[in-house]
Structure 1
Amino acid sequence: MNEQKKESNTRFGIAWALANGGGYMLIQATVASYIAVFMTDYIGIAAGVASVIMGLASLWDAINDPIMGVIADRTKSRWGRYRPYFLFAPIFFVIVSVLLFLNPKGLSESGKIAWTSIFYVGFGMLNTVCTMPTMAIVPAHVKEFDERNKIFTWGAIATAFSFTIASSYSINISKFFGSWVPMILIYGILMIISYLWLFKVSKERYLIDIDAEKRPISKDIKIIFKHKEIYPVIIIWMLCSLGFGLMFATSVYYVMYYLARPDLISKYMLVLSIGAFISMSVIMPLAIKIFKCGHKALLWSQLLTAICYIILFFFGKNNFTFLCVVSFIATSLSAMENSLINLLLADSIDFIQLKDGVSLNATLSSIKGFAFKCGTTLQSSGILAVLAITGYVAGAIGHQPESAMLGINSLRFLIPAMISLIVVILCIFYPLQKHYAEFEKMKEKMVAM
């Protein structure tokens, strides 16, 4: 690779990392961490109603992912397929995010529900419009494995930093301003600037044209799903989302009820947050450097994570320091799974190009998004289902039945360990690895447009 191309990839990599993990992630992490409490405590919507809003919005969000992927792959403009979205999508995303946190005065209860529903659904849809082209542009700009891995690593570091800042301090920043809106605006301005830079430096060099006029949209989906090699990858995407979600969502229940120490929740969550940051900013780059490909790094990280979880399932309650140390190790190994699966996405894009001679970057990105959101839905509904089945009693600290205690311990450690082991098995038999040599030969023949 000549020096000019290296410099181009470096500029692109930094711009992509800031777009994917900068202002956008600050907004995304704020919504993920605080939208539920904002709906109930700031707007005044009943918890049951808020859960229905979030559930229906998540369902529609998962459904519209493939639709957006197909649209992006078939976009034709003087700026290319994916780059036009970097110009307008972030602006609308920021506007809707601001309106979501506006909390207008004088609305009736039904008005509050309608306002929140409209803009929460709009947030999810515009989130898809932003993320699908953002993920699709990487294989379109860069064809070399090492360069892609480096870019995804930079993105993981930026994401880890922004998520830690937003999830830990957004509520304090909002209190400083006296409102959530100024903070979201600041995050939004950073997002728009980073996407404009990404638009400027990105190139759609390595794409194979889609004959959209002669081929129906349904054929794009059929092309992907006719290959049995793609199915294990989709399952990995879903399981990694499920495992990552359980890691954080069950920890409060575990400390509050299984340990019966609500005073230790903040300390334990801090341990997990630091572990997640270390995972994406330190461990992931080392793992990619050692293993060279995403599925091998995922295999070993999930195997070691499963061992830690099994140990904690049996001995986690014995000593809080021991719990924190082993949980930190497990989180440091496992949290990078959500970034490592982006490397599997790049493999899938290469595979479809190899087998069918067509670039379906955004469609595959949208299928990954759909699988990821299915995992998130399973996580949220699964936790409530297990708690209900095992007889959990809300607020009964120190007085939970034994069945509920087993359920909480299983949700925190045993079920995630099982998920990790399934991912390990899928990675051992990863169906795309046998095509790596063919990918390289294909890329050698590809000429930058």
Structure 2
Amino acid sequence: MLWADLAGKRVAVWGFGREGRAALDALALRLPGQGVDVYLGADEAESARAAYPHAVVHAVAPDAVALSSYDIVIKSPGISAYKPELLGAQAAGTRFTSGTALWFGGHAGTRSVAVTGTKGKSTTSALIAHLARSLGVRTALAGNIGLPLLELDDGEADLWVIELSSFQTSEALGVDLGVVTSLYEEHLDWHGSRERYVDDKLKLLAASARVLVNAMQPALLARAADHPGLNTFDDAAGWHVADGWIRRGPVDVLAVDRVSAPGLHNAINACAALAALELMGLDALAAAPALSTFVPLPHRLQPLGERGGLRWINDSISTTPLASLAALESVHDAHVALIVGGHDRGLDWTVFVEAMRVQAPDAILCQGRNGPRIADALEAAGVANVFRATDLAAAVGVARNALQGQGTVVLSPGAPSFDQFKDYAERGKRFAELAGFEPRAATIQGLGIL
């Protein structure tokens, strides 16, 4: 959709987070005088009226009747495209768009790499931007990673690196290279089913001239097999990890321990980034040494340091059981306490439970809304050292007692934060506080155009 399509129409913005505000700002810049209504929470109404005095503010959630009164609604990504009220209004003729769709509509021909995946998409996006900049390429880093595209609507860059969530992939258009890092079940409450989640996530393939996917995921590879521009990473012929090295085919390029972001999964993310650079015509071999100067993203296996004889690792962004397993595998310590649990989206923890039957850490702290369900499954499988805690603060206290001043405490919840916190960043900062550190701002270095 183009901005011109909104001119003179009945327009609403649904959501007043950063994406919603970016849409309001861009609308005022692109179409001065255009009327707009805003739907938001009651606690946001006062600030919205002060910041956007010309907008009509509705401090309620819109129903199908309200939505049907508009020609076009710009919705925030977190609002499911499958909500009954949205589908009802759509059937009545209301068109729905987003900041992402409007940005892509206005930037045809932009040199772009769009990255999605259940896990690894943020780090891979940031790595691509960091490596491209190490080669002197003026690069934009934006999207779901923390900077709405519309905040850079007038920016100019030689390369755009755009992270897309499964909520946004259907809104991409004219992408040079689409990267899919991984594919597991997630966000089932937004999409409604695993099948729909997979279908939505892989809509990026259709929007991309060329695609780059993880060769070690057969189901993903099969879905991408018919794409005429298919490329892979993490296979022996291309960029992959083997014997402690990042390799290009048979050639050792960089030792894994020189990659600043810890863990095997981050070395694989680095392979995805290097492969993407290569496909965009850049010198990946020359860029590879810059992997050692990359600043790891906060809340993603972030080493906080040592307090009380214990090491503390913040992996608050972990929202699937498989992510919790990956975090546990990346920690090389004889004594580990793992904190799991949070908002319950109904995900299946069977794989996690089976892995714990084979080898469990010193303590598994099950907390939050789905903590009891996880603990029940672990105990039913005969896993030892399972502890129950009402919330994150209690879990940290139990972890301290369990390790007795020796080992590593890992927060990798495998679940969203919404049962106790507004987002994963707030949860991660609270974990840092509980561990005895200053709350660390959830600031990702390198956002914007550099």
Q: Which has the higher strand share?
A: 2
Q: Which has the higher helix share?
A: 1
TM-score by length of 1: 0.23
Bigger relative contact order, structure 1 or 2, given CA contacts below 8 A and separation 6+? 1
